Amino acid sequence: MNEEKINSKFLKISCSDCDNKQVVFNKPSKKVECLSCGSIICEPTGGLGEIKSKIEEVFR
């Protein structure tokens, strides 16, 4: 087993536009939009998603 892979986690992100808080996977396969205003809050990069807003909390 390859232990070097980055752990999959869920992150709580607050939208920078409307302050809506939302839980997202840290390795998304597609863009994640804010459920409230539609802003992109996380984009896929092939590995870890690029978080576009502020991370409030990390779930392990």
Give phi and psi for 32, each to the nearest 5: -105, 125
33 binds Zn ion (CB under 5 A): no
18 binds Zn ion (CB under 5 A): yes
Among 9, 10, 25, 37, binds Zn ion (CB under 5 A): 37
Among 12, 14, 20, 44, binds Zn ion (CB under 5 A): 20
| Residue 35 to residues 6, 25, 47, Cα–Cα distance (Å) | 26, 14, 23
| Size of residue set near Zn ion by CB under 5 A | 8
Among 31, 36, 50, 56, binds Zn ion (CB under 5 A): 36
